[in-house]
Amino acid sequence: MTDIPVIDIHMHIQPWEQFNPGPLEMMKRDPEHFELLTRLCDSPQAFLDYLDEEGIQAAGLVNYVAPEVMGFQDSVCEFITEYCKAAPDRLLPIGSLHPQFTPNVSDRMDQIAEMGIRIIKIHPPHQCIYPNAYRNGDENLRIIYEKAEKYGIPIMIHTGTSVFPGARNVYADPIYVDDVAVDFPKLTILLAHGGRPLWMDTSFFLMRRHQNMYLDLSGIPPKRLLEYFPRFEIFADRALFGTDWPGPGVPSMRGNVEQFLDLPLTEETKRKVLHDNAAKLFGLP
C-alpha cells in the first residue's frame, strides 16, 4: 500500500455495554460487523492485529461522555486508558467529560490529565451543547477549556451532522468553535470532520483564521476531499488523517488510506497528513 506508517487519529473503540438501546440497535443492523466490533473492543491485542492487517501503525481511540443520546458515562475514560496500555506507542486514548453530567468537572480534568488522556473530545450534537456555551453561563465548559489549555491537552470538537437516533444537529455547526479559538488562544483544537457535509466553507474559514487549529479528516470520504476542500493543500501542515472507523460509510481503514493516496496531492503532503503531523503533535514514532 505505502511505506508511510499511517496514523489514524479518529477511530472508535468503546465500551459497548454502555450504549443506549437506539444507537445499539443501529450498530446491530449488521450482525457480523457487530460481532467483529465487540471482539475488537474486548481485546486490545485482537485490535492491534487488525490494525496490522489493515496497514495502520497507530490510532487515536475516541470516547466521549454522552449519557442522553449515546449512553456513555464518565467511566469511558478509565476504559480507554486501560485499553491503550497494551501499546502506548500505537494506541492514543481520547476521552471526555460532560459539563452538565460530570460531578466535579474541575477535579475530573485533573484526573483525566493524570490518567494520560491525550485528547479531550467534545461532541456537540451528542452532548447537546454548543461549543461556546461558556459565553452563556456554562462555567463547567469554561473550566474544561481552561484546564485543557493549561495541561496542553488538545480538544477535538465534532463538527457536522450526525444521524444517530436522538442526535441534535442544531449544535453541529462549526462556527461556534470560532469563539473557542479566540478565547483560548493557546488551546490546540482539532476540528473533526471539517463540518461535513453542510459547513465546509465555515471550516475552511476557521482553519485559515486560527493557526492552532487542525483539520481532522475523519468522516470525509477521501475521494471527495478535494471537492469539499479544493484548496486543501494550504493546510498540509495542519491536517490529520482519520477514518472514523467503524462509523457508517467506512467499510475499511485500508480502503480509506488507498483512496487518500490516489488523490492528486504532493508526496510531501501525503506523508505529512498520513503520519508526520500527528507524530509531531503527539510524540509518536
Least distance CB 96 / Zn ion (angstroms): 12
The footprint of Zn ion on this chain (CB under 5 A) covers a number of residues equal to 1
Q: Does 216 bind Zn ion (CB under 5 A)?
A: no
Instruction: Give least dist CB 70 to Zn ion, A.
Output: 11
Helix (H, G, I), strand (E, B), or coil: what is residue 239? strand
> Minimal CB distance to Zn ion: which residue?
244
For cell 445499539, name the residue. 24
Nearer to Zn ion, 8 or 74 (CB): 8
In eight-state DSSP terms, residue 99 is T
Our CA angle for 199, 158, 69, nearest 5°, is 115
Residue with Cβ nearer Zn ion (99 or 160)? 160
Could you list the beta-strand ranges (E) of the chain.
Answer: 7-11, 58-62, 91-95, 119-122, 155-158, 189-192, 213-216, 239-240
CB burial class (10 A; 0-12, 13-18, 19+) of residue 186?
exposed
Q: Residue 162 CB, nearest distance to Zn ion (Å)?
A: 9
- When the beta carbons of 8 and 244 are compared against Zn ion, the nearer one is 244
Cell numbers at 248, concatenated: 457508517
| Beta carbon of residue 182, minimum distance to Zn ion (angstroms, whole number) | 25
**CA distances in angstroms from 69 to 164, 165, 168, 177, listed in the order given:** 8, 7, 9, 21
Nearer to Zn ion, 112 or 122 (CB): 122
Q: Which of residues 228-267 bind Zn ion (CB under 5 A)?
A: 244
- Shortest spacing between CB 38 and Zn ion, in angstroms: 18
Write down the least CB distance from residue 218 to Zn ion, Å: 6
CB 283 within 8 A of CB 17: no
Q: Which residues of 63-80 are buried (b: 16+ CB within 10 A; e: fewer)?
A: bbbbbebbbbbbebbbbb
Q: Report the residue number, 74 or 244, with the smaller CB distance to Zn ion.
A: 244
As measured in angstroms, the least distance from the Cβ of 164 to Zn ion is 11
Cβ-based nearer residue to Zn ion, 54 or 244: 244
34-42 contacts, C-beta under 8 A, 24 or more apart: 37/246, 40/13, 41/13, 41/14, 41/15, 41/16
Look up residue 18 and give its three cell numbers. 454502555
Whether 94 contacts 60, CB under 8 Å: yes
Which CB, 129 or 143, lies closer to Zn ion? 129
Map residues 159-188 to x or -, x wherever contact with Zn ion holds by CB under 5 A: ------------------------------
- Give me the residues that bind Zn ion (CB under 5 A), please: 244
